[in-house]
């Protein structure tokens, strides 16, 4: 857990949950990459990568597509439980 976990966040401007996802990664010590719509990818690339996604952010955690912020938060909570935090 922590430094070894890798997260990729696909987000957009003025997205509170994108900001929360980045803050959670920083708090937990996850290595993360933030990709912003219109800068790092476009809508077509988003639909190719996440064909069923309808919200931002979309998050990849350790190579697996997990969904949005709530899913990332659930993973962190589960890690805390299993680590006895």
Q: Is the pLDDT of residue 3 over 80?
A: no
- The pLDDT tens digits of the residues spanning 25-49 come to 999 999 999 999 999 999 999 999 9
Identify the residue with better confidence: 81 or 40.
Answer: 40
User: Where residue 78 falls among pLDDT bands split at 50, 70, 90?
Assistant: very high
The tokens of 77 are what? 């909570």
Domain ranges of the chain: 6-83
Q: Is the pLDDT of residue 4 over 70?
A: no
**CATH class of segment(s) 6-83:** alpha beta
Query: Is there a contact between 43 and 37 (Cβ–Cβ < 8 Å)?
Result: yes
Q: Is the pLDDT of residue 5 over 90?
A: no
């Amino acid at each position: 857990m922590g430094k070894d976990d890798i997260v990729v966040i696909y987000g957009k401007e003025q997205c509170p949950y994108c900001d929360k996802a980045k803050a959670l990664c920083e708090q937990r010590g996850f290595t993360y990459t933030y990709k912003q719509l219109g800068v790092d990818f476009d809508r077509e690339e988003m639909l190719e990568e996440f064909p069923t996604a309808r919200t931002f952010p979309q998050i990849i955690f350790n190579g697996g597509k997990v969904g949005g912020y709530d899913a990332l938060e659930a993973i962190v909570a589960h890690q805390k439980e299993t680590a006895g935090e």
